[in-house]
Amino acid sequence: PATGKIHKRVAKHWERSSTVHMFNKWNAEDGSCLEFAKRLKKHGLAQTEASIANKLSRGTFAATFFLASLVALEIDGIRLEDI
């Protein structure tokens, strides 16, 4: 039965998968964290080079960061199967 809570293993899977997906997309553009911060700022999300590096190394970030990143990277869409 569903309890409304996400099992830790499932949560870790999605955290890791979304981080790897974002990291791969950004690496495909040969971008720096500073350049990424500039792109995010254009879309209204203020981030520093250090905060982006921390998010990627930690492997966790808010859904708002993930969605803003997709916009900043000019990604039109993603398939959940790809994550």
> Is the per-residue pLDDT at 4 higher than 70?
no
> Distance (Å, rounded) from C-alpha 68 to C-alpha 33?
14
**pLDDT, mean of residues 29-37:** 81
pLDDT at 27 over 80: no
Whole-prediction pTM? 0.68
* Per-residue confidence (pLDDT) for residue 74, from 0 to 100: 86
Q: How far apart are CA 65 and CA 47, in angstroms?
A: 9
Please compute the mean of the pLDDT values over residues 28-53 and round it to a whole number: 86
